[in-house]
Amino acid sequence: MAQTPLNESARAPSVGELTPPDRTLMGPGPSDVNPRVLRAMSTPLVGHLDPSFVEIMDEVQELLRYTFRTDNQWTIPISGTGSAAMEAAIGNVVEPGDTMLVPTNGYFGGRMASMARRAGGEVVEVDAPWGEPLDTDDVTDALAEHDPDVFGFVHAETSTGVVQPDVPELTAAAHDHDALVIADTVTSLGGVELRVDEWGIDVAYSGPQKCLSCPPGASPLTLSDETMDKVLARDEEPRSWYLDLSLLEGYWGDERSYHHTAPVTNVYALREALRLVAEEGIEERWARHERLAGALKAGVEGMGLEMNAPDEYWLPSLNAVRVPDGIDDGAVCDALLEQYDLEIAGGLGDLDGEIFRIGCMGHSARPENVIYVVTALGDVLESMGADVDPGAGVSATRDAL
């Protein structure tokens, strides 16, 4: 009797050894990972309730408090990417029927709005053009008009290269209306000045893959005691079981009771990344990012390009550079990958096709990387006919360094 041939789908796939390209990551994230973080990820796995891992959890929480500049007890890494920390913040703090005031000045303000609606909240907006920060007077007027329960803002808007100034004024205005304040610090934590307690921020969330130079998977979140009291007193459970902070409290709080299997290796990575922050010193780290990004900014301006954000709210960790007339930003990004193994990105939303987004974050924020990206960008732009002077750009960068 003839043997029936195996169905193609039943055969084991033949997949070779993993060999990803060795890129220099100077886009909006992820950033280059410090070799110490990679080594930490290769250490032996333990159980997520192992006594040794419980000690590691304590250390991560203490290091996060230092990096956020907060004494908040409820300072934890959420198991997931930065968007998971974002949804944990909004989905727990915003209850059905609550009103949340959100900004319109960038892509991630729009994501705040989407998450608030999914949580059952009513969304109202405070308007500002893409590429500009929120105006304190506009926020104050919107608070008076809508009397929201929650006010959200993006501290470092990854889509526009804008940092929000005058944060204490915004939080004070919100608190005058008894609104809790949620801050998106995904592109600022560990790279741009951020003082959660001193600035009156009630909730801040972030991602590990930007200024912390850590692979995504365990994302920082901090909540004030007042905010956590609101979360624990909710009449209706949050719509996400996985991100329910009243349940996560049992795992990250004193009980250390089972909720889910934590991403142990990602927590190792975050611990080592935060150790690097503490060793460097948080204020010294802020200064390094500003100094090296300043050299990058000097280089792109020196070759004849324009920054998207004015100096007063330029975001060092994410440099938004205007695309020259007649140049296809996607073609430039593709050429940099193919010719230089260098990653930068184009714009999002309202700025799609209008800007390059060049990161200067964490382990990527090094002099050799800054020189490399200015050199490569100038070369590619010149080859495509852009009106640039690559040599002047490199000279300006070197002078700034």
* pLDDT tens, position by position, 83-122: 999 999 999 999 999 999 999 999 999 999 999 999 999 9
Instruction: Give the distance from CA 235 to its chain's centroid.
Output: 31
Q: What average pLDDT does this structure show over 171-189?
A: 98
Confidence of residue 10 (pLDDT cuts 50, 70, 90): confident
pLDDT of residue 1 exceeding 80: no
Round to whole Å and give the CA distance between 365 and 192: 12
Predicted local confidence at residue 5, as pLDDT: 59
pLDDT digits (tens, 9 = 90+) for 244-286: 999 999 999 989 999 999 999 999 999 999 999 999 999 999 9
Predicted local confidence at residue 9, as pLDDT: 67
Give me the residues paired with residue 55 across strands: none
Nearest to 119 by CA among 36, 260, 231, 270: 231
Q: Taking the CA atoms of 269, 275, 277 and 279 in sequence, report the sign of the dihedral they define.
A: negative
How high is the mean pLDDT of the chain?
96
**CATH assignment, 35-280:** 3.40.640.10
**Amino acid letter at 260?**
H
pTM summary value: 0.96
Round to whole Å and give the CA distance between 74 and 253: 8
Q: Which two tokens stand for residue 314?
A: 């330029």
CA distances to 115, 128, 231 from 249, rounded to whole Å, are 22, 36, 11
Q: Which two tokens stand for residue 316?
A: 């060092």
Instruction: Give the distance from CA 387 to its chain's centroid.
Output: 33
Round to whole Å and give the CA distance between 217 and 291: 29
Question: With 0-12 CB in 10 A as exposed, 13-18 as middle and 19+ as buried, what is 181?
Answer: buried
**CATH assignment, 282-400:** 3.90.1150.10
Q: Which segments within 307-390 are labelled E, that is strand?
A: 318-322, 342-343, 345-346, 355-359
Confirm whether 35-280 and 282-400 share one CATH topology. no
pLDDT digits (tens, 9 = 90+) for 344-386: 999 999 999 999 999 999 999 999 999 999 999 999 999 999 9
pLDDT of residue 4 exceeding 90: no
How many residues would you count in the chain?
A: 401
Please give the radius of gyration of the chain, using alpha carbons only, rounded to the nearest integer.
Answer: 22
pLDDT of residue 390 exceeding 90: yes
Round to whole Å and give the CA distance between 40 and 124: 44
Q: Per-domain residue ranges for the chain?
A: 35-280, 282-400
217 contacts 208 by C-beta, under 8 angstroms:
yes
239 contacts 246 by C-beta, under 8 angstroms:
no
Predicted local confidence at residue 188, as pLDDT: 98
Predicted local confidence at residue 6, as pLDDT: 59
Q: What average pLDDT does this structure show over 307-313?
A: 96
Angle 78-80-85 (CA atoms, 0-180°, nearest 5)?
50
Q: Name the percent of the chain lying above pLDDT 70.
A: 98
Q: What average pLDDT does this structure show over 166-192?
A: 98
